[in-house]
Amino acid sequence: MEAQAQARFVRVTPMKARRVVDVIRGQRAVDALDTLQFAPQKAAVQIRKIVESAMANARFHADEAGERFEEEDLYITEAYADEGPTMKRIQPRAQGRANRIMKRTSHITVVVSDDKPKAKKTTRKQRRAR
C-alpha cells in the first residue's frame, strides 16, 4: 500500500526544507513524526503535517481496499522538496537604488509505503569521501 501527500507553495526555501526532508527519508513514519516534533527548523512544522496527511491517505486507501492497516508498518519511501515559484519584491536603497528580495517557495512531497525502503548503493566517489 502506497500513499502520498503534497503541499504546494509552502513559504520556506527549498534548500531549508531539504535539510529536514533528508533527515526523515527512509524512517518509519511514526518515528519521523517524533523527529519532526522536536526539530527546531520552521520547515519541520509543515513537513510534519504532510507526513500526517500521507499516513491518513494510506489509512483511507487501506479501508477502501478492505486491507488491514497498521501505522507502525509505514515507512517514508520518498520525500523531496522541489522549488516553487519565487515572489520578487523590491527593497529601497540609498541614492534611488533598489535591491531585489527573492521570497522562495517550495513544493514538498512525501510518499509512505508499507514496504521497507531499500538501501541505496553508494558510488566509489561517495565511499572515498567518507
Q: Which CATH number fits the domain that encloses residue 101?
A: 3.90.470.10
Mind listing the pLDDT tens digit for each residue in 15-56? 999 999 999 999 999 999 999 999 999 999 999 999 999 999
Residue 61: what pLDDT?
95
Range of the domain at 97: 2-113
105 CA to centre of own chain = 13
Segment 82-99 shows an average pLDDT of: 97
Mind listing the pLDDT tens digit for each residue in 92-126? 999 999 999 999 999 999 999 998 877 666 677 76
In terms of residues, how long is the chain?
Answer: 130
In a domain, 45, yes or no: yes
Query: Which three three-digit cell numbers place residue 60?
Result: 483511507
In a domain, 119, yes or no: no
Which region holds residue 111: left if phi is over 0, alpha if psi is between -120 and 50, else beta? beta
Find the helix or strand (DSSP H, E) in which 54 lies.
helix 43-65
